Amino acid sequence: MEMESKDEPMYFELNTGAKIPSVGLGTWKCPPGVIGEVVTTAVKAGYRHIDCARVYDNEKEIGMALKELFSTGVVKRSDMWITSKLWCSDHAPQDVSKALTKSLQDLQLDYIDLYLIHWPFRSKPGTQGWAPENMAPLCLEETWTAMEGLFASGQARAIGVSNFSTKKLQDLLTYANVPPAVNQVECHPVWQQPALHNLCNSTGVHLSAYAPLGSPGSWVKGEVLQEQILVKIAQKLNKSPAQVALRWGIQSGHSVLPKSVNDSRIKENFDIFDWSIPPELFSELSHIQQQRLLRGDFAIHESCSPYKSLEDLWDGEI
């Protein structure tokens, strides 16, 4: 998990040997009609990592933008890191490969750099949404074996998981032949995940942070960027609270996936490599009161879900 250098950690090295760019563009809640231009702006601003998912329903337009960027010579395919995710309704082993094939078709790619199990939760094939009647028993071990097949074939150059608690990641490591390269989770100064960080560091799994700014403007509640300690440090460093939150992530040893559709903020979010948070200010961020913002209530049901409570889903990490 070594950073490339002390001041400019542009990449983190995964357990596969591949280097994942430390800042990626998040694409959740980025609507068709907007996302293509956003991806183009981000790549021209220096981003080399785009975080996608089948369920975001915008991979086709991202694929068109990438094709244009490749064909006009702005970047080469080998310069870019593209992540996608297996949705809950495709966990049946026979559906895993088909789901990746669909994402690759939409993204107009021959391979994906990283493919993640989106949630440790399963719904019935062909269903959408979280209605109790759509919920299905878990088969994570079988799903992971199918993911390992995608890694062996080269269609997915790295495989991993998302939204796995410390315990669920530990469990996966006991049966995985190919260990996960990444666990992508909510992580920001208001939800710092120290126990999960420690496990990832000790087992060679890279932690990647979605909602590193707390997902402002979405239905996820929480005002990370208005947190007073963060605001005060930003003022001292003459940076924005968003830049400090992102720089905190990189200095903590994980990649960050900020999402914005605003040109100036896309550029601002990438301007975090030629400065750092000094140790005395960095340590102040550990005093922020902690709160998980994306709680996963949709996956909870007394009889239909494997998770009867949020305690079950996160194994107490709430």
Residue positions annotated with a catalytic role: 56
The Cα–Cα gap between 122 and 87 comes to 8
Inter-residue contact 115 to 86 (CB < 8 Å):
yes
114 φψ region: left (φ > 0), alpha (ψ -120 to 50), beta (else): beta
> Tokens 């028993």, residue?
137
> Which pairing describes strands 159-162 and 135-136: parallel, antiparallel, or unpaired?
unpaired
Name the residue among 161, 158, 231 with its Cα closest to residue 189.
Answer: 231
Sequential DSSP letters for 55-110: GGT-HHHHHHHHHHHHHTTSS-GGG-EEEEEE-GGG-SHHHHHHHHHHHHHHHT-S
Continuous segment of H or E residues that includes residue 167 = helix 166-175
Continuous segment of H or E residues that includes residue 18 = none
CA torsion angle 164 193 183 222 (round to 10): 80
The Cα–Cα gap between 236 and 8 comes to 21
Q: Within 10 A of 264 (CB to CB), how many other CB atoms are there?
A: 9
The Cα–Cα gap between 27 and 53 comes to 8
Q: Is 51 strand, coil or helix?
A: strand
Name the residue among 21, 39, 141, 137 with its Cα closest to residue 79.
Answer: 21
